[in-house]
């Protein structure tokens, strides 16, 4: 039996090198504060399909990380009851993205194979939210997935299926909505010096009618270039799905310039509810960086329909000019 020096041991003392922290498997950042350690073990033996000497080790490492993730999900299920089936499937299919922070505790030969035990840092709060399933809502997703375009180096249909799974599970798309086109750009960043890991960058961008709905750029690590890229694509797709899911049918974001004094805005809110067909409720959403008030208008089928209604609105003390239809659920007006 011979022992190997783990990626963790090799990375010690490399703090001044680029991506040295990634060599230890620790991704850091705000999520690290919510992470909890879970242990997992994996074994693997040579297979005819192996193309490199490191394939056996990488397979055992992947199994060990996956086992730690299964343990974390099992613990959540024991605490919270039954979890979402499709959500659990999506998490497990993207196990590399959820277990990027790990260290090898032990590694030993078993005949021609290898056995590895790891300790994985998992963001439990984020995982709990992911596998719990989205709350039911009468408002359907605004978008329908039109196409997914993969750039060079992104892989094959497996990568495309991963992006689609994240959008569906994240309740970001459904049939009959506004067309959403997703592009994925991939950049291999190469191996981390003196470690077993590789780094890759994936940029996932979603557009509807030439308007960027969501965009995410993620750097991730893996035991080989393909694993690193798969993890990066999965995590970037998760982020894009979370943003796109905020857009629901029947809710229009109405950006209002000239909303001061406040009495002018209140007159607009009353006029929308009392005089515009289909409007059921108006809520204050936020104030944007330019000081414009953004209202959530519930009821209209889309922004062009609301724009048409506002163009013919005749209410005392309310004079609205449509500035732009910014998307299927976004509209800008100015009050005079």
Other C-beta atoms lying within 10 Å of the C-beta of residue 318: 18
Q: What is the CATH number of the domain that holds 220?
A: 3.30.160.150
Rounded Cα–Cα distance for residues 204 and 202 (Å) = 6
Residues 113 and 31 placed together within one structural domain of the fold: yes
The model's pLDDT over 219-266, given as tens digits with 9 standing for 90+, comes to: 988 878 888 898 899 889 989 998 898 888 888 889 998 878 888 889
Instruction: Quote the pTM value.
Output: 0.63
Rounded Cα–Cα distance for residues 173 and 241 (Å) = 8
Residues 184 and 308 placed together within one structural domain of the fold: no
Helix axes 124-131, 55-80, angle to 10 degrees: 70
Residues 117 and 169 placed together within one structural domain of the fold: no
Residues 96 and 3 placed together within one structural domain of the fold: yes
Q: Looking at residue 219, what is its pLDDT?
A: 93
pLDDT interval class at 10 (50, 70, 90) = very low
User: Which of 200, 219, 246 is where one domain is finished?
Assistant: 246
Residues 128 and 148 placed together within one structural domain of the fold: no
Any idea which residue has 């030439």 for tokens? 210
Q: What is the CATH number of the domain that holds 6?
A: 3.30.1660.40
End-to-end CA distance of the chain: 82
Residues 37 and 86 placed together within one structural domain of the fold: yes
> Which among 295, 335, 290, 297 is positioned nearest to 317, based on CA atoms?
335
Burial classification of residue 261, based on how many CB atoms lie within 10 Å of its CB (0-12 exposed, 13-18 middle, 19 or more buried): exposed
Residues 123 and 87 placed together within one structural domain of the fold: yes
Residues 206 and 275 placed together within one structural domain of the fold: no
User: Which of 246, 261, 281 is where one domain is finished?
Assistant: 246
The model's pLDDT over 272-331, given as tens digits with 9 standing for 90+, comes to: 988 888 888 898 888 887 888 889 899 887 888 899 888 888 778 788 889 988 888 888
Q: Please state, rounded to an integer, the average pLDDT across all residues of the chain.
A: 82
Residues 30 and 153 placed together within one structural domain of the fold: no
Residues 11 and 127 placed together within one structural domain of the fold: yes
The answer to whether residues 219 and 199 touch, using CB atoms and an 8 Å cutoff, is yes
Q: What DSSP string describes 63-111?
A: HHHHHHHHHHHHHHHHHH-S--HHHHHHHHHTHHHH--SEEEEEEEEET
User: Which of 133, 155, 186 is where one domain is finished?
Assistant: 133
The count of structural domains within the chain is 3
- Domain interval for residue 210: 137-246
The tokens of 195 are what?
């470690």
Does position 191 have pLDDT exceeding 80, yes or no? yes
The answer to whether residues 98 and 141 touch, using CB atoms and an 8 Å cutoff, is no
Torsion angles phi and psi, residue 330, rounded to 5: -140, 130
Residues 15 and 117 placed together within one structural domain of the fold: yes
Rounded to 5 degrees, what angle do the CA atoms 22, 26, 30 make? Answer: 115
Residues 129 and 1 placed together within one structural domain of the fold: yes
């Amino acid at each position: 039996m011979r022992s190997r020096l783990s990626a963790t041991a090799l990375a010690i003392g490399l703090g001044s090198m680029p991506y040295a922290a990634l060599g230890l498997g620790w991704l850091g950042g705000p999520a690290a504060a919510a992470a909890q350690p879970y242990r997992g073990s994996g074994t693997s033996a040579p297979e005819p399909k192996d193309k490199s000497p490191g394939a056996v080790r990488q397979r055992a490492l992947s199994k060990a990380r996956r086992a730690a993730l299964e343990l974390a999900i099992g613990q959540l299920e024991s605490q919270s009851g039954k979890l979402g089936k499709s959500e659990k499937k999506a998490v497990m299919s993207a196990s590399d993205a959820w277990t990027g922070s790990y260290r090898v505790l032990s590694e030993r030969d078993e005949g021609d194979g290898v056995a590895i035990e790891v300790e994985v840092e998992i963001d439990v709060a984020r995982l709990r939210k992911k596998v719990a399933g989205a709350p039911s809502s009468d408002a359907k997703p605004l978008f329908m997935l039109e196409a997914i375009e993969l750039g060079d180096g992104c892989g094959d249909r497996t990568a495309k299926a991963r992006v689609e799974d994240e959008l569906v599970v994240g309740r970001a798309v459904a049939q009959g909505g506004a067309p959403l086109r997703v592009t994925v750009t991939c950049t291999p960043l190469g191996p981390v010096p003196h470690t077993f890991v590789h780094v890759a960058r994936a940029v996932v961008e979603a557009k509807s009618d030439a308007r960027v709905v969501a965009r995410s750029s993620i750097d991730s690590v893996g035991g080989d270039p393909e694993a690193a890229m798969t993890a990066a694509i999965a995590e970037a797709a998760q982020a894009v799905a979370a943003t796109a899911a905020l857009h629901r049918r029947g809710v229009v974001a109405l950006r209002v310039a000239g909303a001061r004094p406040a009495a002018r805005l209140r007159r607009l809110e009353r006029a929308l509810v009392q005089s515009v067909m289909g409007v059921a409720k108006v809520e204050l959403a936020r104030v944007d960086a330019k000081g414009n008030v953004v209202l959530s208008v519930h009821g209209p089928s889309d922004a062009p329909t609301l724009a048409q209604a506002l163009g013919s609105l005749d209410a005392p003390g309310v004079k609205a000019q449509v500035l732009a239809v910014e998307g299927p659920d976004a509209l800008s007006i100015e009050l005079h």
